[in-house]
Amino acid sequence: MTIRRGPAAGMNWIAGSGNHGCWLGTYELTKQSALKRFVRPGMTVYDIGAQAGFYSLFFSQLVGTTGMVYAFEPCAYEARYLLDHIRLNNVPNIRVIQAAVCKRSGLAALTFDRGQTQNAISDRSDSILQVPAYSLDDLHLPPPQTIKMDVEGAESAVLEGAKRTLRELRPVVFVALHGAEQRRRCVELLETAGYRLYELGGKRLHDAPETDEIYALPQS
């Protein structure tokens, strides 16, 4: 299929690799609009929880030939589609890191039986699937100006492993929140790091968000 609209319009998309809104270009339109306000040519973007690569392709067009996208996807099923989309579109500015992002570097348990796009880091010690995991503070990559994460409930763990990154590099952070505890913990971590929180439409948040999607801007 050909993506119909948005920054990735005209790029190839494998039918069935994700939500049909991906190839229609209508997937998460409010989030797309918010991201476009902050991602510019030449930027480095981290796409954490890249899945099949819709946002990786999206970012690749926004950052242009002078920018770079680092796509993190630990699930082999999703990473296969991600790599296929990069190959089909001959995209030179995406680098795939087939690993999880977490609180600390090492090995992490990953579920594998929750269906497409739903697998996540698990704290079960008896999990049969272990994947490489990195904290953002341990990575030796070009610093990000924007981070987008959708990690099925591990978002606070990503932020806990990124305290130095947030404090020193001050990227814009987009977070998909999964559940009340993640809302509470992520707000706490981001505010402690000196960030202001917003709904995707731009409304400032002063309390724990009721929405599942937010972004955070450094105060200085």
Average pLDDT value over all residues in the chain: 92
Q: What is the pLDDT of residue 115?
A: 63
Q: What is the pLDDT of residue 126?
A: 74
Give tens-digit pLDDT for 173-214.
Answer: 999 999 899 999 999 999 999 999 999 999 999 877 878 999
Residue 16 structure tokens: 């069935």
The larger pLDDT score, comparing residue 116 to residue 37, is at 37
d(CA 152, CA 27): 17
Give tens-digit pLDDT for 36-65.
Answer: 999 999 999 999 999 999 999 999 999 999
Q: What is the pLDDT of residue 23?
A: 87
Per cent of the chain over pLDDT 70 is 97
Q: What is the pLDDT of residue 19?
A: 85
Helix H or strand E encompassing 158 = helix 155-160
Question: Quick one: average pLDDT of 157-180?
Answer: 96
86 by DSSP, 3-state: which? helix
Domains defined for the chain, CATH in brackets: 27-218 (3.40.50.150)
Q: What is the pLDDT of residue 116?
A: 65
Helix H or strand E encompassing 163 = helix 163-169
DSSP 31-85: HHHHHHTT--TT-EEEEES-TTSHHHHHHHHHHGGG-EEEEE---HHHHHHHHHH
Q: What is the pLDDT of residue 209?
A: 81
Question: What phi and psi, each to the nearest 5 degrees, are found at residue 76?
Answer: -60, -35
pTM for this model (two decimals)? 0.93
CB 172 within 8 A of CB 69: no
Whose tokens are 């999990």? That residue is: 127
Confidence check: pLDDT of 133 > 90: yes
Q: Identify the weakest region by mean pLDDT among 53-67, 121-135, 137-151.
A: 121-135
Per cent of the chain over pLDDT 90 is 77
